[in-house]
Amino acid sequence: MNANVARNALWVMGLAVAGSAVQAQPPTDLGKREFDNNCAVCHATDGKGGGPYVDVLKRTPPDLTTMSKRNGGIFPMARAYEVIEGAGASHGTRDMPIWGQEYNIKAAEYYVDVNYNAQAYVRTRILALVEYLNRLQVK
């Protein structure tokens, strides 16, 4: 084995090791990350409603882990999506931010120079949150 071949072999092994180190990390849980970053201040990280903002809210955030229980054992997926997106919720009495609008603004910032599809960005985040909420449900 000449020096070049040995160096190349070491380089490839290095890549393999670096690659496996990346793979060893658990994949990002997008729904949990979005929830912890955007929702936990009011709803708490466990979704039960005791977040640090509770004292300044007009309405107490509901326990998000009992959404299925309160709906005959079925997770109200469409309702969850609509509440998060904010559709029809602009009558001013809600304490819940309109996340569809938030994400639209974020999408525009994220894709600042390219022709982007804001709807894909917004829906991916809302669907990840809905899927995460479904996982938080108590039986």
The nearer residue to ligand HEC, 8 or 90, going by C-beta atoms, is 90
Rounded to a whole number of angstroms, the minimum distance from the CB of residue 116 to ligand HEC is 21
Q: How many angstroms separate the CA atoms of 127 and 100, rounded?
A: 11
Q: Which amino acid appears at position 34 of this protein?
A: E
Rounded to a whole number of angstroms, the minimum distance from the CB of residue 29 to ligand HEC is 14
Buried b (16+ CB within 10 A) or exposed e, 62-72: ebbbebbeeee
Rounded to a whole number of angstroms, the minimum distance from the CB of residue 3 to ligand HEC is 57
Cβ–Cβ under 8 Å, residues 130 and 30: no
Q: Which residues bind ligand HEC (CB under 6 A)?
A: 35, 38-39, 41-43, 53, 57, 59, 61-62, 64, 67, 80, 83-84, 94-97, 99, 129
